[in-house]
Amino acid sequence: MFEFLKRLFRKKTVALIDPEEIVEEFWLTDFTKLNNARFKEESADSHKTSFTDNGYVLQLNRRSVFAWAVNSQYRYRDFVLEALIEFPKEQADVKNEIAENGTANGSTAPKINAGKVSSGILFRYISESTFYSVQISDRGLIRFDAVMNGTPLPILGWTETTQSGSEESGSNDLASVPYSGNTSVFSLRIIARNTSFTLIVNDNWVAECSDETIQAAGNIAFSGQTWEHCRKTAITLRAISIDSTPLEVETLYTRWNQYLPIPTEAYRRLAETWYAMGRHVPAFLELRKAWKHQEPTFEDLLLAGRLHLAQRLYPEAENYFTKALALVPDSLQAHAEIASLYYLQNRWSDLNQYFLDLPREQIDNSAFLSNLNGHLLSWKGEHTAAAQSYHQAGCTNPDQGIFFFNEGKEWHLAKDNTQAAISLKQAARLFLQNDEYDDLEHCLSLLRDTCPDDPDLPALTGKFLYGIGSIEEATEQLALAVTNGTNDSAVWYLQGMILETQGEGEKAREALEKAVSLEPDYGLYRYRLAEILFNAGETCTQEVQTALEKDPENGWVHNLVALNALRAGNFEEARTSITIARKLLPHELQILINFAEVERNLGNLDAILPLFSGEDPEALHAAANLLVEEGRPDEADSWYRTALHRRPFDPNLLTDCAANCLERDLINEADDLLSRAFDITTSERMYQLIAVLAGKKGEFARAEVALLQGLKEFPDNPVLLYELSGVYLVSRKLEKAAEIVAHLEKIGEMERATSVREELLETGTNRITCISCGRIWRVPKDIPAQGSLRLQAEPPDDLPAGTCPSCRETICIGCAKEQLGEDGRFSCKRCAIPLKLIDQNVIWLLNKWHQEVLQPSVSKESESKSTGHTPL
């Protein structure tokens, strides 16, 4: 009886879930029952997840965000996963076009615009930096990547899919599937089996891929990504299922890859993807699979030829191109491929005959064919005709500098250096525009040989040198261009940037003002000018507003507006501008730091700090610095230590942590951190901190040595000079401190020089002040004991009359006369007590005056004795 009651009222035991367990199960949820959802609601600055009636929603809050939510309940290795993903309707309606660009050998390969947003599944998720990712875009394109230690390794590039079911799909009832007739919904199925991964979209086979990067079990995650043209979106995971039982995985793998018929278009799409990724053999194998079910099309033959051409299998490539041309005789693409084939094999005679047979109009309408024709004419020695053919190629495709470079070479060979210079300068500008510095170097070399006195050469050379980081050489060339009176606004702009880095703020501003005058509507120049004014501490409100009008989508301009408002104390205005900057530049750490600084001034630092948590040591470092600014050094230390754990050899991080330790009087820890930083590099701040540390220990000789060594490495550094003056003052080396004053004045640091001079006075003299009028006297601190004072003349009003025995204050004679007693003695205004000469400093002042007054009299008396005259 009692055993029955015990069993009846026994509490149900809940099985503990081991998140590290690798399970074999079937799990399905449509998120109507949250106890079976396994995902969690999360909120971050860049994204947010929540449960709705429609499913699990991932909201992405800005551009260029890749975020995910992890299902951390179990781990899986081999499984069949199916997810039903829905994009917002307005994004599903956007139609993107496929752009075609010529490849190096003249062929055209699809360069796909995947869409505005993508979503998908992460699996075998080991950490934030190691996982597999399958993403499907709002246009229905799919890609597959392995991410290892934060580095993406493409397995399958963006591949077109069939967005709705067909008679060849594995679905028997198309009308019942959620994606039927709805282009915003996609069914994504992943079959992970050892190192094989099968991808299926809307019940259509897309690809089977093989990869060995991650073979351990891991979690799964629901992910989403926005690109540049999508500011904000919300993606819904309507349902998800996982079957990790080995029998089901094997059955479905066999069914989709061996039993169900695969559409020939799927093979073709996969072949195009492999070709775009440079995987030529797998691409050709996919074409062969398609040809088992259907005769090769023109596009198939063209692709097959390109695949063989890329592997330098020229006879096979020619065979396929010839077959393609037989299907479409007037195809410009096929003609270009055959001409390219002849050129690559140096079959000049065949190429010559080929161009003779081609209509002239076809050649002129193709930049690639015109360029090849130029090569042919150059080989024949017809340099003028070759230059004209290259020029035609450049006119057809005016964004490519190589055509004009080839033209310039031919004009040079034809001895027409005037035309050569024109073409080469046009090529150089295009190379600069496209950051093609290797080609630009060859172009400028030829331009110097062709026309060494060309007035545009210094400007072009300066831009090139600046672009490759040779700043010293660039400075010389840009200065020469400026001296020649160039009207190239970019030259003045670069000159200004260089001058600013050299500390020539005024000259930098003049250069930027010149650039603005030459191109007043270019927002970048306006922004940089405003930045220079801001850094110089000058008013820049008008200039930054103009920059904002000219370039409203530049996040750095909004950032400068925020900093300007922050400096003026307009915190709400600063918040508005920095928020816009963050939306435009979501991944810039400096923008986040400035945002946090604005919020710190508004008292919201604690709410912002979670944005800095994570793996990034630079972000952790920035958070620690913010806490230091807030006056919370103990909390800052934990952030510094976390950052150092991730980046232990960062000298700036070690230095900042050491400075914080000094603030907390942890002298030995600061000493250790600075020693570690010194083993890596040195800086003026390190020497300054060592001096402070030595001063706290009372080791003034060490502080002096450190600062002198620092001044050897960083001559005329005002901070180190100022710190050295402090060491001299503390150690009573007043003459050396006075030398520092002169040194600071010499280098133009008048404010610091004045400060040191005042400290020198305070250190070397006693200050005596008249309590009534504020008159000040200075007396050396090391005066000897003063004896009794007997005056033989009446002191002037600007000397002290004496000191009050009661309040110990001193009064000058001029003020004391107002309080002269009936007995003729000076009295204290405050206490009405007669003043006395009880202060040694006052006696010294009167003695000094008395000696100066008596000295001329003694001199005159001596003179009269020597001449025999009595002074009147």
Q: Report pLDDT for 504.
A: 86
Residue 372 contacts residue 106 (beta carbons within 8 Å): yes
Buried residues in 108-141 as b, exposed as e (16+ CB within 10 A):
bebebbbbbbbbbbbbbbbeeebbbbbbbbbbbb
Which is higher by pLDDT, 562 or 99? 562
Q: Report pLDDT for 11.
A: 54
Model confidence at 95: pLDDT above 60: no
Residue 75 contacts residue 121 (beta carbons within 8 Å): no
Convert the pLDDT of each residue in 312-323 to its tens digit.
Answer: 999 999 999 999
Which residue has 């963006």 as its token pair?
158
Convert the pLDDT of each residue in 737-778 to its tens digit.
Answer: 889 889 998 888 899 888 888 888 888 888 889 988 889 888
Residue 443 contacts residue 428 (beta carbons within 8 Å): yes
Residue 338 contacts residue 325 (beta carbons within 8 Å): yes
Which is higher by pLDDT, 443 or 2? 443
Concatenating the DSSP letter of every residue in 596-649 gives: HHHHHHTT-HHHHGGGG-SS-HHHHHHHHHHHHHTT-HHHHHHHHHHHHHH-TT
Convert the pLDDT of each residue in 353-400 to its tens digit.
Answer: 988 888 888 888 889 999 999 999 999 999 999 999 999 999 999 999
Model confidence at 331: pLDDT above 60: yes
Convert the pLDDT of each residue in 481-538 to its tens digit.
Answer: 998 888 999 999 999 999 988 888 889 999 999 999 999 999 899 999 999 999 888 8
Q: Which residues contact 746 (CB under 8 A, 6 or more apart)?
A: none
Q: Which residues contact 260 (CB under 8 A, 6 or more apart)?
A: 170, 205
Which residue has 């503390």 as its token pair?
730
Minimum mean pLDDT among 41-45, 132-136, 149-153, 716-720: which range? Answer: 41-45
Convert the pLDDT of each residue in 141-155 to its tens digit.
Answer: 999 999 999 899 999
User: Within 10 A of 553 (CB to CB), how many other CB atoms are there?
Assistant: 9
Model confidence at 818: pLDDT above 90: no
Q: Which residues contact 639 (CB under 8 A, 6 or more apart)?
A: 612, 620, 621, 623, 624, 627
The predicted model gives 216-224 an average pLDDT of 94
Model confidence at 727: pLDDT above 50: yes
Query: For residue 786, what are its two tokens?
Result: 């003063």
Range list of H helices, 765-827: 813-816
Q: Report pLDDT for 179.
A: 77
Q: Which residues contact 544 (CB under 8 A, 6 or more apart)?
A: 526, 527, 530, 534, 557, 560, 561, 564
The predicted model gives 173-188 an average pLDDT of 76
The predicted model gives 249-272 an average pLDDT of 91
Residue 192 contacts residue 123 (beta carbons within 8 Å): yes
Q: Report pLDDT for 865.
A: 46
Minimum mean pLDDT among 253-257, 419-423, 613-617, 707-711: which range? Answer: 613-617
Model confidence at 863: pLDDT above 70: no
Confidence band, pLDDT 50/70/90 cuts, at residue 112 = low
Confidence band, pLDDT 50/70/90 cuts, at residue 176 = low
Whole-number Å distance between alpha carbons of 798 and 775: 8
| Average pLDDT for the chain | 86
Whole-number Å distance between alpha carbons of 160 and 273: 9
Tell me how far CA of residue 84 lies from CA of 113, 121, 145, 415, 609, in angstroms: 23, 11, 20, 68, 36
Whole-number Å distance between alpha carbons of 688 and 670: 13
Confidence band, pLDDT 50/70/90 cuts, at residue 855 = low
Confidence band, pLDDT 50/70/90 cuts, at residue 232 = confident
Whole-number Å distance between alpha carbons of 447 and 662: 59
Which is higher by pLDDT, 124 or 872? 124
User: Within 10 A of 170 (CB to CB), how many other CB atoms are there?
Assistant: 16
Most confident of 258-262, 407-411, 608-612: 407-411
Q: Domains of the chain by range and CATH?
A: 26-262 (2.60.120.560), 682-764 (1.25.40.10), 795-867 (no CATH)
Range list of H helices, 717-766: 718-730, 734-746, 750-764
Q: For the chain, what is the total number of helices (H) and then of strands (E)? A: 36, 20
- Angle CA 695–701–703, to nearest 5: 45
Q: Report pLDDT for 667.
A: 92
Whole-number Å distance between alpha carbons of 370 and 361: 10
Model confidence at 92: pLDDT above 90: no
Nearest residue to 57 (alpha-carbon basis) of 91, 92, 87: 87
Pairing of strands 204-210, 196-201: antiparallel
Residue 154 contacts residue 143 (beta carbons within 8 Å): yes
Whole-number Å distance between alpha carbons of 544 and 546: 5
Residue 285 contacts residue 274 (beta carbons within 8 Å): no
Model confidence at 451: pLDDT above 50: yes
Minimum mean pLDDT among 162-166, 354-358, 822-826: which range? Answer: 162-166
Model confidence at 104: pLDDT above 70: no
